[in-house]
Structure 1
Amino acid sequence: MGLMSDEIEMIHLDFERTYWWFKSRRDLIKSLLLKFHFHGPLLDVGSGSGENLEAIKGIVPHSVGVELSDTMIEYASKLGRNIIRGNVEALPFDDSTFMSVAALDILEHVDDRRAIKEIWRVLKPGGKLLITVPAFMWLWGIHDDVHGHKRRYSARQVLKLTQGTGFNIVFWSYWNFILFIPSAIQKKLGKSHSLVRLPKPLNDALYAISKLDNYLILRGLKLPIGTSIVVIAQKPCQSGEDCHETSKGIRDNSSV
């Protein structure tokens, strides 16, 4: 994160733990890491408070986060989370340090070309990358302004960005398909940052409904639309390189 106001960051600290969207995305992240055999060491770029990192480290050992916001780093350190200060556009690590990288709703905040090149640099040959980004510029709303977004993506754009750096696409899909219409209306017509506390029964119901998206994706379906995009990519090996295993899991859905 690192590009939002302190006020919005503090709101995020609370919502990341309990809000249905964050919980469902975290479930999907953990399942994809298992399904596609992600290995450590793993770098989580734009870690924020470390909620995702905390979930990830139970799946992938030797995970570390990098974050630009001092507010988030201070909060994470109090909870004993392994997050250091750094910029995704100039990562403080040597070449080929990590076997996996997670870039979860961070590319829309930064110079994405510089960031993806840095991710490529620190990944080992054969290493895997998990990306999530917000979908469709026509869904742009005050939520994006408040949260410091520079862009939203089509699937074609994020795949072009990733493949243009040299990555092979293993899998991609839109996400938040089942709840797309109400989520899209909220984003377009919302008058605030859109993180509005919901009554617990409603929050629980939305969380339960959103699990269907995760179920479909984990069975290899490429959802046709959604408010987010998820991509899994792999850094290929060159001849003679010490390379990790090729990706396993769901079939390749690299075409748009």
Structure 2
Amino acid sequence: MNLSLYACPRCHRPLAGDALRLHCHECGFALTMSEGLWLDNTLAQPPGFSPDRREHLSDIERDHFWFGPRDHLLAKLAARELPRGGNALELGCGSGRLLPAWNTQFAQTFAVESYARSLAEAQARDARTTLVQADVTRLPFADNQFDTVLAFDVLEHAPADAMLGEARRVARDGARFLLSVPAFQSLWSYADVAAGHRCRYDLAQLRGELVANGWRLLGHTHYQFALFPVLWLSRRLLGERGQAAERRPSRVATALLGRINALEVGLGAGLRLPYGTSLMAWAEAV
């Protein structure tokens, strides 16, 4: 265990301890190992993502048309745009859908998540990852530790400067950052409100926030390019009825829409698609 990797998220002093407990001599902060997870029993749940929303996502992600092709696209982008080997940190890993891919690409993977139940699900999915209960705006890691940082549909839930600044603090100079956010404010709907989103992003806003926090944008693309017109019209014309159908589509619709997304990812993963419901970007620490 490399103790030099860890630092207090409150006062940034090094953490001391062993394989069962890490603690800060200065302020008393502690992480306790429990069933393979580093847990912070004092951590408050983030205001931008309710327990009910977490349960909803856990329920639908198994077969919703959005998740599977999106995961394949992110794995392809990572293989193309991020270095192999080294260590990687995923911020807000949720149930760990992408951890198996990261443990194939990187020598060592760490992931943080505020919900202990999500961490347990992530561990069941891939036990090779070091899993830590933490706030993405106050990370329990020392400066300049990671070669790669990953964050997928997390930034819209957190204060941008706090999260991006923390990501930069723990990243080494020249580290790469792959992230995704919901795209286009014109798609804003009740679903965004229920999910605790601050906003939906366009490229200019994301670039500005990255640059302000020590990152240089290297490239970007969008996901759900083909379905964008359908989903835009559904949200604009059908309102809550359309959003409900989008959240809980029929089996036939799920199969059809999932196939469209899969074809898009298969045929267009190397292209810079100009619009879609998700914006995906990669950046470098400067």
When normalised by structure 1's length, the TM-score is 0.82
Q: 1:169 Cα shift?
A: 1.8
Fraction of identical pairs, as percent: 27
C-alpha separation in 2, matches of 1:187 and 1:226: 14
Larger radius of gyration: 2
**Greater mean alpha carbon deviation, residues 69-78 or residues 21-30:** 69-78
- C-alpha separation between the residues in 2 aligned to 1:47 and 1:16? 13
Q: How many equivalent residue pairs? A: 234
Q: Which has the higher contact order (CA 8 A, sep 6+)?
A: 1
* CA deviation string 1:107-143 (max 9, x = no partner): 0000011111111111111210001000122211111
Give the structure with the larger strand fraction.
Answer: 2
The equivalent residue for 2:132 is 84
On the 8 A contact 1:99/1:124 being kept in 2, the answer is: yes
Could you say if the C-alpha distance between residues 79 and 213 of structure 1 is closer, same or farther in structure 2, counting changes exceeding 3 Å?
closer
**Superposition deviation, residue 170 in structure 1:** 1.6
Q: 1:52 aligns with which of 68, 82, 98?
A: 98
Does the 8 Å contact 2:113/2:135 carry over to 1?
yes
* Aligned mates of 1:196, 1:138 — CA distance in 2: 21
Q: Specify every segment of 5 or more residues in structure 2 that has no aligned partner in the other structure, as ranges.
A: 1-44
1:226 aligns with 2:276: yes
Matched, 1:25 2:77: no
Assess, with a 3 A threshold, how the Cα gap between structure 1 residues 211 and 229 changes in structure 2: closer, same or farther.
same
Q: Out of 38, 41, 50, which is 2:83 matched to?
A: 38
Paired AA for residue 67 in structure 1: E
Structure 1 runs of 4+ with >6 Å offset: none
In structure 2, do the counterparts of structure 1 residues 169 and 92 end up closer, same or farther at CA, with 3 Å as the change threshold? same
Q: Gaps (5+ residues) in structure 1? A: 237-256
Change (3 A) 1:211 1:148: same
Q: TM-score, normalised by structure 2?
A: 0.74
Tell me by how many angstroms 1:175 deviates.
2.1
Residue of 131, 134, 138 corresponding to 2:179: 131
Distance 1:187 1:60, change over 3 A: farther
Secondary structure of 1:225's aligned partner: coil
Deviation digits for residues 69-117 of structure 1 (CA, Å, limit 9, x no counterpart) = 2332243345554321111111111111111111100000000111111
Match of 2:228 in 1: 180
Q: Output the aligned Cα RMSD.
A: 2.2
Letter in structure 2 aligned against 1:182: V
For residue 254 of structure 1, what is the aligned residue in structure 2?
none
Aligned pairs (5 A) from 1:1-256: 3-39=48-84, 40-79=86-125, 81=127, 82=129, 83-188=131-236, 189-191=239-241, 194-199=246-251, 201-215=252-266, 217-219=268-270, 221-236=271-286
